[in-house]
Amino acid sequence: MAKLNWRAKIGVVFVLLSLAIYVIHYLIFHDAYHIFYYGIMDISFVFVQVLMVTLIIDQLLSGREKQVRLEKLNMVIGVFFSEVGLKMLGIFSSLDTEVEKVREHLIVRGNWDGGTFASVSAELKKYKCSIDIGRADIGSLREYVTSKRDFLTRLLENPVLLEHETFTELLRAAFHLFEELDFRTNIASLPQADIGHIRTDMERMYGLLISEWLDYMKYLKENYPYLFSLAIRTNPFDSKASPIVD
C-alpha cells in the first residue's frame, strides 16, 4: 500500500505539472485551439506507445533475459554433472540389472537430432530400473556422497534453479539419498527393510538423473558441439567410451 501511495503521489504531481504548463501556454499565447488539438493528439499516441513498450519491447527484453537465465542454469547443470552426476550415473548403471534393455538408447551419437532425443526420452519414460544393492559398496558410496553434501547444498541455494522444476527435484532426491547414507554409521548391520528403503532412494535419483542427463546432452548438441564431443567420449553408459580422441 505504501508503494501504491508513493506512486499515486508522483502521478498526481506529474498531472498537475502538465496542467500548469498548459495554463502558462494559454496565458502567454491565448490559443486554446492548439492546446486541445495537440493534447488530443498526444493522448491518442499514448496507446501506440503502450503497444510498443509493453507488447513489443518488453517481450524482446523478456526473451533476452530468459535466454541469459537459461545459459546460467545450464552452466549450473553442467557443473553438477561434472562434480557428481556422471559419477553417480556410472555407479547406478553398474548396479542396474535392467540397464542392457536401454543401454543402446543411452549411447548418444553425434548425428542425433531433436527428433531422436525426443523419441529416446519417450522410450525412457517407460523404463523401470532395478538396482541390485547387494553389488554396491555402500561404505565407499557413503564416503563419496558425504564429501559432496556441501556442494549440493550450495547448488540448492542457487536462485536460478527455481526455474527448472525437474532439475530441482533431482537435487532434492540426491540430497535425500546422501542424507540417508550419511545418517547410517554402521552400513554392514542394516536390516533388509532399511536396505530396501535405500534402494528405493537410489532408484528415484537414478531415474531422474537419466532424464536430466539426456536433456543436458541435447542442450550441448544444439549449442556447444565441443562440449558435446567430450560428453559423448565420457558417456557413463558406453563401455567403449574414452576421452582420448582416436
Q: Can you give the pLDDT at residue 188? A: 72
Residue 222 and residue 133 in one domain: yes
Q: Is 199 among the domain residues?
A: yes
Do 200 and 127 lie in one domain? The reply is yes
- Write the pLDDT tens digit of every residue in 84-117: 999 999 999 999 999 998 898 899 998 999 899 9
Q: What is the DSSP string of 116-136?
A: HHHHHHHHHTT----B-GGGS
Domain count for the chain:
2
Does residue 74 sit in the same domain as residue 176? yes
Whether residue 241 is contained in a domain is answered as: no
My answer on whether 168 and 106 are in the same domain is yes
Which pTM value belongs to this model? 0.73
Which of 60, 78, 109 is a domain's end point? 60
- Classify residue 238: in a domain, yes or no: no
Q: pLDDT at position 227, please?
A: 92
Residue 46 pLDDT more than 80? no
Question: What is residue 70's predicted lDDT score, i.e. its pLDDT?
Answer: 76
Give the structural domain span for 20: 2-60
pLDDT tens profile 185-200: 777 778 889 888 999 9
Are both 41 and 74 inside the same structural domain? no
pLDDT of residue 57: 66
112-143: b (≥16 Cβ within 10 Å) or e? beeeebeebeeebeebebebebeebebeebbe
Burial 44-75 (b: 16+ CB within 10 A, else e): eeeeeeeeeeeeeeeeeeeeeeeeeeeeebbe
Q: What's the rounded Cα separation, in Å, for the pair 103 and 239?
A: 10
Residue 1 clears pLDDT 60, i.e. is over it: no
Q: Identify the domain boundary among 41, 60, 79.
A: 60
**Half-sphere CA count of 128, side-chain side, radius 13 A:** 1
**pLDDT tens for each residue of 129-178:** 999 988 888 888 888 888 888 888 888 787 777 777 888 899 889 989 98
Q: Is residue 198, in this structure, part of any structural domain at all?
A: yes
